[in-house]
Amino acid sequence: MQELKSPQRTKKRESDLNQRLFPFEIVHINEPANNMAFFHWHEYMELSYVKEGRGLYEIEDKKFEVERGDIVVINNIERHRVTYNPKQPLYETVLHFAPSLIWSKENSYFDHTYLELFLYSGAGFNNRLKLEPEIQPKISVIIDEIVEEYLARRQYYELMIKSKLLTLITHLIRSCGIKSSSQDEYLYRKKNIERLEEILKYINANFFEDVALGSIAQRFFMSPAYFSDFFKKNIGINFSDYLTRSRITESIRLLNENRLNTTEIAFTVGFKNLPSFYAAFKRIAGKNPGQYRKSLRSKQTK
């Protein structure tokens, strides 16, 4: 399959999904998938079921083709995009949901197992799940039932969707041979999640300040080397990249508000000088702030 050539831009997909009372949505039910020119990431889980066509998924540094019957799972920090030949559109049903829908830190060890599908990193694991022929019809039926409940929205449809989603994930865990964590592993990961929540809460509240690796490590009673390793292992990107992404995400929001000039925005979100702001913005958003603001104006005039 011929790969589509396009610039590797990156942006965060904004959504209020995690703040909704029922943090679940379905996209691309009866229309082709987005043919993405840039990478993106989001703060929710994604499960995509390919119904027709072929496409190329890129998730972080992994590339793989998908075809009818494949399932792709993506967690809430993985940069990704999907492309395909427009003459042969890719049709897929895409489920988005917050991790809290299937597990929260107050829930049991058994509920945590549902997240293994999105967090597992054992040997040979791939985001693309190749289903055995005998399981494919069952998976297709469950997904169709989830879509039907989502569209009809009858009384208690949320409970029905959650029940079917957990059934779907259980079948997928069994199918791809993921081993559940031991009780000790679960308690260790739960402790890490609670620790990470506090770290991310602090970063998100203070990214506009001079948040140095040494100072934040000290705040959470770690050495800089241990903190750096802990952050990368559990988040998937290093501390400085996460901090920069947070600042650029806020700068994009401020550019959309159109109240501050570029220099004011750069210093507001925590950059010490304009060159570093411009370099980071272009690396993450794919264009410099001036070009981004110009594209906003052109959209507003259409």
% helix, strand, coil for the chain, step of 5: 50, 15, 35
Tokens (6 digits) for 299: 């959209």
Among 176, 19, 45, residue whose Cα is nearest residue 102 = 45
What does the alpha-carbon distance between residue 244 and residue 247 come to, in Å, rounded to a whole number? Answer: 5
What is the reported pLDDT for 227? 94
Partnered with residue 12 across adjacent β-strands are: 41
- Rounded to two decimals, the pTM is 0.61
Residue range 135-162: average pLDDT?
95
Local confidence band at 11 (pLDDT 50, 70, 90 cut-offs): very low
Task: Tell whether the model's pLDDT for residue 84 goes beyond 70.
Answer: yes
Local confidence band at 130 (pLDDT 50, 70, 90 cut-offs): confident
Residue range 272-277: average pLDDT?
94
Among 74, 111, 119, residue whose Cα is nearest residue 92 = 74
What is the reported pLDDT for 99? 81
| 182-302: CATH class | mainly alpha
Encode pLDDT of 196-216 as tens digits: 778 888 998 899 999 999 999
Task: Tell whether the model's pLDDT for residue 164 goes beyond 90.
Answer: yes
Local confidence band at 110 (pLDDT 50, 70, 90 cut-offs): very low
255 touches 296 (CB < 8 A): yes
HSE at residue 142, side-chain half, CA atoms within 13 A, is 19
Q: What percent of the chain stands above pLDDT 90?
A: 40
Task: Tell whether the model's pLDDT for residue 111 goes beyond 50.
Answer: yes
Task: Tell whether the model's pLDDT for residue 295 goes beyond 90.
Answer: no
Cα–Cα distances in angstroms (integers) from residue 162 to residues 3, 119, 129, 258, in the given order: 36, 19, 21, 40
CATH topology for 9-175 is Jelly Rolls (2.60.120)
Task: Tell whether the model's pLDDT for residue 58 goes beyond 80.
Answer: yes
Q: Where are the domains of the chain?
A: 9-175, 182-302
